Structure 1
C-alpha cells in the first residue's frame, strides 16, 4: 500500500502495538475482500485526525465487520462506506477506482462535465456548491457558492454520496443534465438544464492594466490550486514585473482550493519570511510551513475573496493577511479548515482521509467560520464572466480605491 499526498500536512504513523497483534486475524487467513477492508480500517486507525474516532471503539468496529463474509468487491466497498459513515466526517470517504482516477485528474488535465466544486454541508449533510469552475457550464448557468443541489436528473442528492453526485454530473460532451438548485437564502428551488462540456483546468489569467491611472496594475486571477498553479503564478508575476507593475490585485474569488502544497508555494512567491500556515494533527502536535527565500515582488497587494474562496485559497489569503502583506477585500470566505490526504488501496481504489486541521499564522481556526476580509463589500448581483474585474465589479473597484489611497499617502 502506498500513500499519495493530496492536500497533506504533517502525518504521524503510530507504532503497531502488541495488543493489535493479538487481536488481528493473520493476514494469510484473510480473503482479498477482507484485506481491502482491513487496509481501510488500518489507514483510519493510524491517520485519522480524531483519535476518539467520533467517540467510539474503533477496534470493535473492525471486529464487527470482519466477522461478516464479503460476497464480492461491491459488498466490501459498501461495508467500508458504512464504517467510515460512523466517523460523521463528509470529507473522509472511499473512492472507488474510477472515482479515484477522476479525483487525480481534477488536479491536473481537464474534466468532462458541468464544472462544479461541491461538498457536503457539515451541519445539514446537504450537497452544497463550493464554487463553479471558471468558464464552466455551471458558471454560465449562474450557479453560485453555497447554492444547494437538491436533485440531479430528478434523483435526490440526499440518497447519494459526494462522489456519486460528482459522477452523475460528469458525462460526455454535449449531453444534458438537470440540476435542481436551491439558492442560498431562497425557499423555492429551480431546475437548471446544463450542457456538459470539456473544462480545461488553466488556473491563472494575468494582465497589466491602467485602472490606477499612471500606476501600472498587475491583475492576477487564480481559479484553482492545480499541479501547475505555482509555476503559472510565478510566470505571471515575473512577466508583470518586467512590464513595470507597481501594484497587484490577486483575485481568489470562487477559487475552491486544490493542492495544499500549491497554496503554500504561491504564498512564498509573495513573502520573504513568516509562517504561512500551522497544522495540528491528531495528537495536537503543531507543525508549520514557513516562507523561505525572496518574494518575487514587494509591491502593494490586495486580495479579493468571497464565499467561494475555500481551503487552499483560505490558507493563501490568511497567510498574506496575517503577515501584513496584503489587504483582503470582498466577503467572508467558505470556511474549510481541514486537510485531507489520499491513500491508495491495493485494488486501485483509495481513501480520502482528514488527517489534520490548519490555522492561519495568527492561530485563527477558520473551519466552518471562514475569514472576514478587512473591507467587506457585498456582491450586489451575480456578475457575468465579462463583468469580472470591470467597472461593474464593486469588489474590484473597492480594491482599486484602496491601492489608490496607498499610493496617494505615499506620494504625500
Structure 2
C-alpha cells in the first residue's frame, strides 16, 4: 500500500508541514576538502552518510551559527569515529543534530524517508484501500476503497472484512502489518479473502497499481436556503492543486452561494501546492515570503488566476500547521476570507529534504516564512477572526463520531455557516434575497 515510485517526481519541491517542511533534492556529496583517496575510503561505508548529513547542514541550515555549536569541530568528531553498522552511524547523526536545537532538522531512516516521499507525492502503489481494525470485533476492516483504484473497480465496500491476505489469516493483525503484506510492485497481484454481511466468504485477486491519493474532498451542502460548497484538504500533496481546481470548478457549476474551506487537522505539505491553491482564491495580493540564512527574500503573490470570487470562510484549529497556515494567513490578511476556529499550530519555518546515498534522508531547516502581514507566527500561530474552541467533550465526540464533522453538530462548522451567511447577505447589499438564507 505504501511503496513509492522510484522516479521521485516530487523531488526539488518545497514542502512545509507541522512535522517537517522540505525541499526534496536527490544529492550525493563528496566530503568537503577531500581528495580521491579519502572519497574512496568513505565509499560504501556508514561514514559516508554521516558526512553527507554534516555537509548538507553546513551548506543549508538557516542559522549560520548553528545555535552556537562549533559545527566544524562536530565534523572532526564524527569522522574520527569508526562505524560498524548503519545503526551506529544513524545514532551518531541524531546525537550531532540535537545540540542545534531544531526539532525540524532531523534524520530520516530509509523507511521514514519512504513514508515521507509517499506522503508528499500523493501517490502509492497498491490496491487502494484504507483499512482499520474494528474496535468491537478486532477484525481488519475496509474503511473505504479509493476512487478508481483496483479495490474500487473490484467493488470492495466500506465495512468489508479482510479475513486473509494471500492465504495468511489476518486474525490479530494490525492495519500496518496488513498494509505491509498488501503493498508491492506495480503489476503484481494479491488475493484478499473478504467477509461481507449476508454473503459467504469470497476471494478477490487485485493487481497492484500506481494510485493517486485524494487529499481534497468536496461536496455541495444545502444548509437551509444556502448552497454551501464545502471543501476539506487533508494535506498539501503534489496532486492537491489539481484536485482543488476540480473541486472549485465542480461546485461553481452547481451555483453555490459561498464556500467553507476546512483546514482543521491539516499538518501542511508542499509549499508550492499551498501557493497554487491560494491563487485559486485570490486575484491579487501577497501570499507568503521567505527569508533564508543570508537574508535573501523570496515573495510569492497572486497572479489574477482566481477561480471564484464567492464568499469564503476558512476553518482552522490547533493542528492546522505550516502550509495550512500559509494558505489561511494569505486569505485572512488579504481580506479574502474570514477565518473561524482555534489558533493554529504556529510553525513558520521551511525545510529541505535530501535523499542520502543509502536510501535514508535528511530534513534541514533552510528558511523562515511570513504571511502578508509580516507577523512572525512561529510558536504563536494565526488567530482566527472568529475564535471558537472546542471543549474536550466536543473534540472526543467528533473523533468518535466522524460523521458529525462538518454538520450543525460540529460547533466550529456551525459558526462558519453563520459567518458565511452574514457575508453572503452583506455582499448582496440592497439586493436582499426574497427568502432568508437560514442555517439555524
Show the counterpart of 1:73.
Answer: 86
Q: Does residue 92 in structure 1 map to residue 105 in structure 2?
A: yes
What is the alpha-carbon distance in structure 2 between the residues aligned to residue 346 and residue 10 of structure 1? Answer: 18
TM superposition score normalised by structure 1: 0.73
Q: Does residue 222 in structure 1 map to residue 233 in structure 2?
A: yes
Show the counterpart of 2:415.
Answer: 398
Show the counterpart of 2:196.
Answer: none
Secondary structure in 2 aligned to 1:172?
helix
Structure 2 contact 105–362 (Cα < 8 Å) conserved: yes
Show the counterpart of 1:105.
Answer: 118
Which region of structure 1 is more displaced relative to structure 2, 98-107 or 20-29?
A: 20-29
What is the alpha-carbon distance in structure 1 between the residues aligned to residue 333 and residue 241 of structure 2? Answer: 21
Show the counterpart of 1:204.
Answer: 216
What is the alpha-carbon distance in structure 2 between the residues aligned to residue 170 and residue 87 of structure 1? Answer: 36
Which region of structure 1 is more displaced relative to structure 2, 267-276 or 376-385?
A: 376-385
Deviation string, structure 1 residues 183-242 (Cα, Å, up to 9, x no partner): xxxxxxxxxxxxxxxx994222212222151x4221111122122111111101001111
What is the alpha-carbon distance in structure 2 between the residues aligned to residue 79 and residue 50 of structure 1? Answer: 21
Deviation at 1:387, TM superposition (A): 1.1
Show the counterpart of 1:121.
Answer: none
What is the alpha-carbon distance in structure 1 between the residues aligned to residue 224 and residue 249 of structure 2? Answer: 20
Deviation at 1:371, TM superposition (A): 0.5
Query: CA RMSD, aligned part only?
Result: 3.0
Secondary structure in 2 aligned to 1:106?
helix
Query: After the TM superposition, which residues 161-310 of structure 1 pair with which residues of structure 2 at under 5 Å, given as runs?
Result: 171-173=176-178, 201-211=213-223, 213=225, 215-310=226-321
What is the alpha-carbon distance in structure 1 between the residues aligned to residue 130 and residue 100 of structure 2? Answer: 32
Secondary structure in 1 aligned to 2:343?
coil
Aligned match for 2:15, one of 7, 27, 50:
7
Deviation string, structure 1 residues 94-138 (Cα, Å, up to 9, x no partner): 1122221121112323598879xxxxxxxxxxxxxxxxxxx79xx
Secondary structure in 1 aligned to 2:269?
coil
Task: Answer with 1 or 2: which has the greater Rg.
Answer: 2
Instruction: State the number of aligned residues.
Output: 329
Q: Does residue 367 in structure 1 map to residue 385 in structure 2?
A: no
Deviation string, structure 1 residues 154-180 (Cα, Å, up to 9, x no partner): xxxxxxxxxxxxxxx9721399xxxxx
Secondary structure in 2 aligned to 1:7?
strand
TM superposition score normalised by structure 2: 0.69
What is the alpha-carbon distance in structure 1 between the residues aligned to residue 86 and residue 178 of structure 2? Answer: 31
Secondary structure in 2 aligned to 1:287?
strand
What is the alpha-carbon distance in structure 2 between the residues aligned to residue 258 and residue 89 of structure 1? Answer: 19
Show the counterpart of 2:333.
Answer: 322
Query: After the TM superposition, which residues 8-47 of structure 1 pair with which residues of structure 2 at under 5 Å, given as runs?
Result: 21=33, 26-31=38-43, 32-47=45-60
Deviation string, structure 1 residues 17-45 (Cα, Å, up to 9, x no partner): xxx63899942443533322211111000
Show the counterpart of 2:388.
Answer: 377
Gap runs ≥5 in structure 1: 14-19, 116-134, 137-168, 176-198
Structure 2 contact 284–303 (Cα < 8 Å) conserved: yes
Deviation string, structure 1 residues 229-260 (Cα, Å, up to 9, x no partner): 11111101001111111211111111111222
What is the alpha-carbon distance in structure 2 between the residues aligned to residue 299 and residue 279 of structure 1? Answer: 29
